[in-house]
Amino acid sequence: MRKFNQNQYIYFIVFVFILLFIISPCFAEFTISDEKKLGKEFFDKMEENHLIFKNKSLNDYISKIGGLVLAQTTKAPFNFNFYIIDSFAINAFATPGGYIYINKGLILAAENEAQLAGVIAHEIGHANARHVASIIEKSQKLNMAALAATLAGIFLGGGGQTSAAVAAFSLAGSSSLTLRYMRQHEEEADRMGIEYLVRAGYYPTAIIDFLKIMKQREFFSKTMPSYLQTHPGTDDRIIYMDSLILTHYPQVGAKNIIGNLTRIQTLIPLETHELAKKYEQLEQSLKSDPDNVDLLYNIASVEDQLGQTESSLKHYLRALSLSPQDDDILKNIGLIYLKSGKTGTAQDYLLRAIKLNPKKDETILALGKTYFASGQYQEALESYLNLKDKVLNEDTDINYFIAMTYGKLNNKGESHYYFGLHFKKINKKESSLFHFREALNYYPPDSERSIAIKKEIKELESGDNKKPMEKLTH
């Protein structure tokens, strides 16, 4: 998994500066169209610098919560999108154009789904109220570098790396502090967020509970979590929201609607020392609640990551005995048997999981890997081709698996073609060109595949793919 580095932050903030400088003539009238353009450009640069954490199940989960909350709003004229930032800082933000970003660290910090929904609802409130647009409109007299540094600071949150990057803007100075969200912005987003949250069916004090968790963390760590740094006046906000809930939203709501937050949290990889700490916590919890399926699932997941395969399998099997129709548990047991070289047993569990949930991409991929490992290449290919146009996660490109399988089936043309797509996706231009050119040798000049390959070659040679080139290693 790629990690943030300081150069990426600096590069990203420089981009913000350039972009805002370019659009500065229209600051006095920052339109919906301007917002969409800025939001899309911002996202593209985040994507280009690998700042987005990609895991389909996790992304789907966040998008489901976001969609549930959005359904309760009179939303701004944007197509809202929800993304996860590859950072353990506790932060969330909304950029112009309906882009909502949630850090991995914030997802891990939430104790229930409603708290996560409360943060998302608050950020949707900022987006619907167009608070960033109003900041930009009112900032036309400020130095552009100050504005760029401030917005980047708001969007990326606090922390050493960001602070170092913002420090590169020597002109920003103290004036940048005037562009933080104002009290009226926070109060409006809080009012809107609580209303959205309650309408969606969650309990109204969830966002307050989450802010209190953050305040606790601040006390013990002696550092201000980035979520609080970018959302000032926390104590005042808690008092304000308490009075609002007391007078307007006394009803009881749900802590979980979609469900499985603790299981979803296991999809976020932790550092080894964090895994060990989490393992101790789960072990203690399991002693007092030995038949809790989610606890068993979580401790098995941590043990698997720590390399404790035998203990992990034992806990997964115990969880399965309590919840025999759980396709996630079946899938993970299958993967453990696959890693242990027991492909036949792995297939049995994965086929049971597929029967329960035929459209789950992660299970289809696992079954494909099992078929491949057991030499059933045609069956593996069928599994992989079902995932051909899907995004699974940052570390998985299905084109690679398809290419490998075609190679095993001695279909060299398709193998080279999919290797070309794979290397193009990971920005290795010369390797991509090598495989595309080799693939041309296996197709008639006017065939559909040949035409598609020539188009790929033309695009790469014309410089449309502007990523750094690597030396040819084939």
pLDDT tens digits, 21-74? 444 444 456 688 878 887 888 788 788 778 899 888 899 999 999 999 999 988
One domain, residues 175 and 203: yes
Q: Which two tokens stand for residue 322?
A: 């309590």
Domain presence at residue 289: yes
One domain, residues 299 and 215: no
**Chain centre to alpha carbon of residue 409:** 35
Helix (H, G, I), strand (E, B) or coil at 449: helix
If we measure between CA atoms, which residue out of 149, 125, 147 comes closest to residue 136? 147
What's residue 76's pLDDT?
A: 76
Q: Which residue has the tokens 């690679």?
A: 400
**What's the CATH code of the domain at 400?**
1.25.40.10
Radius of gyration of the chain (CA): 25
One domain, residues 192 and 309: no
What's residue 113's pLDDT?
A: 97
- Measure the CA–CA gap between 129 and 464, rounded to whole angstroms: 37
Structural contact between residues 56 and 362, judged by C-beta atoms closer than 8 angstroms? yes
Structural contact between residues 80 and 70, judged by C-beta atoms closer than 8 angstroms? yes
Over residues 352-369, mean pLDDT: 96
**Residue 187 domain boundaries:** 6-248
Over residues 292-310, mean pLDDT: 94
Question: How many helical (H) and strand (E) elements, i.e. helices and strands, does the chain have?
Answer: 24, 4
Domain presence at residue 474: no
Domain presence at residue 427: yes
Tell me which amino acid residue 52 is: I
Q: Which two tokens stand for residue 441?
A: 């040798």
DSSP string, 322-369: H-TT-HHHHHHHHHHHHHTT-HHHHHHHHHHHHHH-TT-HHHHHHHHH
Structural contact between residues 211 and 234, judged by C-beta atoms closer than 8 angstroms? yes
Please say which residue of 219, 248, 277 terminates a domain: 248
Tell me which amino acid residue 276 is: A
Q: How many CB atoms lie within 10 A of CB 307?
A: 9
pTM: 0.77
One domain, residues 271 and 406: yes
One domain, residues 144 and 227: yes
pLDDT band of 11, cuts 50, 70, 90: low
Of 79-88, 104-113, 160-169, 270-279, give the lowest mean pLDDT range: 160-169
One domain, residues 300 and 399: yes
One domain, residues 186 and 321: no
Contacts 24+ apart (CB under 8 A), 260-264: 260/61, 260/294, 261/110, 261/112, 261/113, 261/116, 262/294, 262/298, 263/294, 263/297, 263/298, 263/328, 264/57, 264/58, 264/61, 264/107
If we measure between CA atoms, which residue out of 368, 399, 366 comes closest to residue 383? 368
Domain presence at residue 260: no
- Measure the CA–CA gap between 152 and 165, rounded to whole angstroms: 9
Q: How many CB atoms lie within 10 A of CB 54?
A: 18
- Measure the CA–CA gap between 387 and 398, rounded to whole angstroms: 7
Predicted confidence (pLDDT) at residue 226 exceeds the cutoff of 60: no
Element (H, E) at 26: none
One domain, residues 136 and 239: yes
pLDDT tens figures, 405-417: 999 999 999 999 9
More confident residue, 90 or 137: 90
- Measure the CA–CA gap between 71 and 408, rounded to whole angstroms: 48
One domain, residues 21 and 111: yes
Q: What is the 3-state secondary structure (H, E, C) of 265-334?
A: HCCCCCCHHHHHHHHHHHHHHHHHCCCCHHHHHHHHHHHHHCCCHHHHHHHHHHHHHHCCCCHHHHHHHH
Please say which residue of 215, 248, 281 terminates a domain: 248
One domain, residues 323 and 236: no
Contacts of 360 (CB under 8 A, 6+ apart): 327, 331, 353, 354
One domain, residues 225 and 287: no
What's residue 256's pLDDT?
A: 94
pLDDT tens figures, 246-257: 777 777 889 999
pLDDT tens figures, 429-467: 999 999 999 999 999 999 999 999 999 999 999 875 444
Residue 310, Ramachandran bin (φ over 0: left; ψ between -120 and 50: alpha; else beta)? alpha
One domain, residues 45 and 96: yes
Q: Which two tokens stand for residue 363?
A: 């299970």
* Total domain count, the chain: 2
Domain presence at residue 254: no
The rounded percent of the chain whose pLDDT value lies above 70 is: 77
What's residue 239's pLDDT?
A: 74
Q: How many CB atoms lie within 10 A of CB 254?
A: 16
Domain presence at residue 190: yes
- Measure the CA–CA gap between 197 and 184, rounded to whole angstroms: 20
Domain presence at residue 466: no
What's residue 168's pLDDT?
A: 37
Q: Enumerate the β-bridge partners of residue 99.
A: 81, 95
